[in-house]
């Protein structure tokens, strides 16, 4: 029988890094994607030390480059991909009128464009394959308007709507689309945002390990959305946005 794999983008640090360990614990073969090859190699060694029987494939890819996004997907067509997790994302901080447009463009390329391309390609190939899942990592800020971080909020709103919409379109398909919307997490992005001036005095940060565990709970559930609410509680829900058919 052909081996099955779980793809995780943005796997070199933070939520993606811990998600890789969470799926390794479930004895899932892994395809790990990130820009930083040295960190991917380090992660692979750590996982294989604990789970030596797993097959772990590495792909170095910059998902802000549209051509690289397509090349990544097409390089994996010979693998049987059971679960695809679009975790890679970029963030910004500060009000939009003072924003660095180059950073905003990069954010859109990764959060919106790459997520849309990879989600669409995966759905086209696996919609009718039993037991498959697409999980896109959004944010609690993808369900509100976060003043002072509007570009990031808008990009994650797109991810949330895209994924909930896909879930609706796939209602009678085998593949299930799900969206994880954690609150602020102690990742490299938050550290950088704090250095750039974000006030972190009142932030209640989740650890990447906690968020990876949330993702596993979503993965194991029949729900569409895994959301951290305003009370910092993790809830599993059906679709949040209203839908209608054209």
Task: For strands 234-237 and 225-228, give the pairing.
Answer: antiparallel
- Topology at the third CATH level for domain 4-237: Rossmann fold (3.40.50)
Contact 124, 176 (CB under 8 A): no
Could you give the CA distance from residue 36 to residue 50 in angstroms, rounded to a whole number?
Answer: 22
- Straight-line distance from the first to the last Cα atom of the chain, in angstroms, rounded to the nearest whole number: 41
Could you give the CA distance from residue 224 to residue 105 in angstroms, rounded to a whole number?
Answer: 29
Looking at the DSSP bridge assignments, the partners of residue 234 are: 228
Positive/negative CA dihedral, 188, 145, 227, 205: positive
Q: Parse the chain into domains and list their residue ranges.
A: 4-237
Angstrom CA distances, 179 to 28, 98, 142, stand at: 20, 30, 10
Q: What is the residue-level pLDDT of the chain in tens, covering all 246 positions?
A: 689 999 999 999 999 999 999 999 999 999 999 999 999 999 999 999 999 999 999 999 999 999 999 999 999 999 999 999 999 999 888 899 998 999 999 999 999 999 999 999 999 999 999 999 999 999 999 999 989 999 999 999 999 999 999 999 999 999 999 999 998 755 555 444 444 444 444 456 789 999 999 999 999 999 999 999 888 899 999 999 998 887
Three-class HEC string of 66-85: HHHHHHHHHCCCCCEEEEEE
Q: Tokens standing for 117?
A: 């391309």
Could you give the CA distance from residue 37 to residue 39 in angstroms, rounded to a whole number?
Answer: 5
Could you give the CA distance from residue 237 to residue 178 in angstroms, rounded to a whole number?
Answer: 10
């Amino acid at each position: 029988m052909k081996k099955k794999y779980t793809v995780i983008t943005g796997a070199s640090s933070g939520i993606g890094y811990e998600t890789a360990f969470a799926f390794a614990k479930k004895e899932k073969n892994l395809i790990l994607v990130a820009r930083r090859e040295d960190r991917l190699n380090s992660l692979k060694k750590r996982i294989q030390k604990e789970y030596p029987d797993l097959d772990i494939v590495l792909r170095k890819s910059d998902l802000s480059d549209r051509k690289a996004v397509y090349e990544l997907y097409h390089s994996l067509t010979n693998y049987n991909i059971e679960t695809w997790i679009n975790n890679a994302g970029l963030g910004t901080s500060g009000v939009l009128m003072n924003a660095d447009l180059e950073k905003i463009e990069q954010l859109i390329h990764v959060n919106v464009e790459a997520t849309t391309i990879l989600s669409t390609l995966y759905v086209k190939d696996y919609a009718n394959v039993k037991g498959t899942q697409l999980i896109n990592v959004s944010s609690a800020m993808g369900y509100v308007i976060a003043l002072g971080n509007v570009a990031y909020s808008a990009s994650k709103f797109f991810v949330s709507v895209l994924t909930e919409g896909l879930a609706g379109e796939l209602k009678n398909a085998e593949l299930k689309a799900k969206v994880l919307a954690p609150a602020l997490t102690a990742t490299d992005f938050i550290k950088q945002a704090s250095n750039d001036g974000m006030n972190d005095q009142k932030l209640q940060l989740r650890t990447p390990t906690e968020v990876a565990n949330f993702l596993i709970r979503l993965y194991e559930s029949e729900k569409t959305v895994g959301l951290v609410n305003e009370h910092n509680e993790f809830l599993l829900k059906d679709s949040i946005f209203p839908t209608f058919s054209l």
